Amino acid sequence: MLPQERIIVPLDVPDLESAIAQVETLPDVTFWKVGLELFVSAGPAILDYLKQHNKRIFLDLKFHDIPNTVAGACRAAIKYNVDFLTIHASAGKEALQAAVETKQASTAPPKLLAVTLLTSINDRSLAFDLQVPIELPEYILKMAMLAQENGIDGAVCSPQEVAKLREVCGDNFWLICPGVRPEFADNGDQKRVMTPKQALNAGADYLVIGRPITQSETPQLIWQKICQEIME
């Protein structure tokens, strides 16, 4: 795989027209992420468009519900024939198992990824807002292990945790990192960040990089700059 094929760009836009415009602006991007904003607005039409243009798809709907509802949502999403699909690890063991059972009953299943802890959460908000009484790195490791033990294919984590998860979960567990910021970019609401090169060196399989590219005045130039950086 070429290094630039390891960068997933989110289509965090309000409608189908804006999504198509963004894909056209970045013709070299091979892997796009469709999240809640766009899917709630445009529905599966955006998935059809991406498939027609031979793009890979990360459907990032982050399911978090009771097992029966998660199973039903996975069954519906799997029909779209996407590459990656997300569920929150904190939905719990039975919901993770329900997602995996649904996937196993399908002929062309996506990789199921468990979100360990949103990259917008830091140690302080984990302790004081969410009242989780263990240290952040330990919590993330526990979420990844819960996912792996129950048959999930990989985890979404920040680059700051990826080396530890790689060491513990091994090479047959996909590690996908949002919270990636080139030196020149603002962190925005991302709290646990590293640069693209640091994230890949730490063991990430794929990086999700959005606003530093898509909200720049020159998205194609920034894309090329990031690709250059990770190839050096």
Tokens at 157, concatenated: 């984590």
42 lies in the site for ligand LLZGTKA7, by CB under 6 A: no
CB of 76 to ligand LLZGTKA7, least distance (A): 20
Torsion of Cα atoms, 196 then 202 then 203 then 204, to 10°? -30
Residue of 28, 51, 55, 65 marked active site: 65
Binding mask 81-120 for ligand LLZGTKA7 (x = CB under 6 A): ----------------------------------x--xx-
Say if residue 8 is exposed, middle or buried (CB neighbours under 10 Å; 0-12, 13-18, 19+): buried
Strand positions, DSSP E, 2-109 = 7-10, 31-34, 56-63, 84-88
Marked catalytic residue, from 51, 62, 142, 225: 62
Interatomic CA distance for residues 14 and 126, integer angstroms: 29
Using the rule CB under 6 A, is 196 a contact of ligand LLZGTKA7? Answer: no
Q: Which amino acid is at 22?
A: Q
Task: Report which of 221, 178, 214, 171 is spatially closest to residue 196, judged by C-alpha positions.
Answer: 178
- Binding-site members for substrate are 12, 33, 60-69, 119, 181, 190, 210-211
Contact call for residue 10 and ligand LLZGTKA7 (CB under 6 A) = yes
Asked about 142 being catalytic, the answer comes back as no
Give the contact letters, 139-178, x = binds to ligand LLZGTKA7 (CB under 6 A), - = no: -----------------x---------------------x
Output the smallest distance, CB 7 to ligand LLZGTKA7, in A. Answer: 11
* Residue tagged active-site, from 15, 51, 55, 60: 60
62 is catalytic: yes
Query: Is position 191 annotated as part of the catalytic site?
Result: no
Closest CA to 38 of 60, 55, 13, 62: 13
Rounded to whole angstroms, how far apart are CA atoms 217 and 147?
Answer: 39
Place of tokens 């996908």: 176
Binding ligand LLZGTKA7 (rule: CB under 6 A), the pick from 136, 175, 200, 208 is 208
Element holding 176 (H helix, E strand): strand 174-177
Instruction: Supply the residues annotated as catalytic.
Output: 60, 62, 65
Residues making contact with ligand LLZGTKA7 (CB under 6 A):
10, 12, 33, 35, 115, 118-119, 156, 178-179, 188, 190, 208-211
